[in-house]
Amino acid sequence: MDISLFARHTDYEWEIAPHGAMRVPAVIYADEALIRAMDHKVYEQVCNVATLPGIVKASYAMPDAHWGYGFPIGGVAAFDPEEGGVVSAGGVGFDISCGVRCLHTGLNSEDVIAVQKSLADTLYREIPAGLGSTGAIRLNQYEMDAMLTGGAAWAVKRGYGNAADLEHIEEQGQMRGARPDCVSEHAKKRQRDEMGTLGSGNHYLEVQKVVKVFDVKVANVFGIRENDVVVSIHCGSRGLGHQIGTEFLKEMVIAASGYGIMLPDRELACAPINSPLGEDYLGAMRAAINCALANRQILTHLVRDAFAQVLPKARLPLLYDVSHNTCKIEEHVVDGKPRKLYVHRKGATRAFGPGHPDIPSALRSVGQPVLIGGSMGTGSYILVGAREGEALSFSSACHGAGRAMSRHQAYKTWKGRQVIDELAARGILIRSPSGRGVAEEAPGAYKDVSAVVDAADAAGLARKVARLEPLVCIKG
């Protein structure tokens, strides 16, 4: 990307002044190398978002930003319903509430390496993964609606995990305001057999070693030390979320002109928050959030069962679960006044700073865990929300490495077996039903996650706590 298009405020904050139909500036947080490497479409999309009615302060993009559907992936925007603000299905994304949860194990790397192959095989056997994967759970109409209303709390009531888990999940595991009646029967049908499955694409389950602690004080509160082993689960709302996104985008495109909304790109389809269509989408989206939370909760139960078979001394309490494809009502201070805003995060992670009431009480003194997934073989990070992030980006941070090339390009560049063998030589065991899926998610297809995290830290969006490296990866 051409950096002459930006006003450079700091080494990590780049602003695009309002022009054309833009109502507010656009801001990208990244270092110069990351900015230069971004596709020009990121510039176009972050500017297009700034044209939407009711947008507040600025249209933001995180250090891992790349081209997406309507909004850039890594995009953040907040809207005020009192100023005609909109909700955008493209601003949430298709995989609604895709997110990451991290579990302690109480083990060290030596414990796992001693049984690494057996653990990899057991996890692969117990965790359904891959395109169209189905689980052992079959939901009838009553249970489907109960799950869409209850989220992880529904799963716990049915024996998947325990009540202590809920304290360490966004919204305590249950998104209020969900409306299963706004979810189509086709969307529900797609999800009926998919609960407790990883799916495909960039979703994964990893057993990871803590290789470096950057902030000992915060790490102690999080219960993390070097050489500890944790488990990270990255997945979302599967077919149900994708179907909701697809259906409402079509409706919003047709309805936009009737609401007086001129779209610079049809992929930015949206509706006023205070409109029947906007309210219906929010109800369906919240149901999809609950689907994702329930799905990760069931996967947690399956992971605990798998560990019990191989490493019975393991204990797997939940550190945290946070989503990165959502629209949430949050209170933020704008021009010195608190305002209730609808904050869209698409491929961006909520990152509340110390003291925020929505952080679990055991972690509140230091801030919210921010879980940053890398790509296979490149490591991941645990960060913590920073107080200054409230003013910078509505308490938002990056969500991962961000793609550097398309899946098609990656598939043409690597073969799945090649990637699996290269990672095995480094002590990382991959289990996947799809060689093509592995090739598409090859480490080289992504940006340098360390550079992305360093930029987020330096910009003040969130602070580095620990770096993780994979030992086992179950890949869809």
Residue 292 near residue 300 (C-beta atoms within 8 A): no
Report the candidate in 267, 391, 347 with the shortest Cα–Cα distance to residue 65.
347
Amino acid identity, position 441:
E
The sign of the torsion formed by the CA atoms of 474, 348, 27, 250 equals positive
Give the DSSP H or E segment for 249: helix 238-255
C-beta atoms surrounding 354 within 10 Å: 16
Backbone Cα Rg of the chain:
21
Which among 169, 156, 162 has a CA at the least distance from the CA of 102? 169
Whether 54 contacts 80, CB under 8 Å = yes
Residues contacting residue 93 through CB under 8 Å, at least 6 positions apart: 68, 69, 71, 73, 245, 325, 346, 347
- DSSP H or E run through 401: none
Cα 109 to chain centroid, rounded: 26
Residue 9 is among the residues annotated as catalytic for this protein: no
DSSP notation for 174-221: --TT--GGGS-HHHHHHHTTTTT---STT-EEEEEEEEEES-HHHHHH
Give me the phi and psi of 162, to 5 degrees please: -140, 165
Q: Which of 104, 344, 399, 408 is catalytic?
A: 399
Q: How far apart are CA 169 and CA 156, in angstroms?
A: 12
C-alpha span between 383 and 395 (Å, rounded): 13
Closest CA to 52 of 270, 258, 254: 270
Active-site positions read: 399
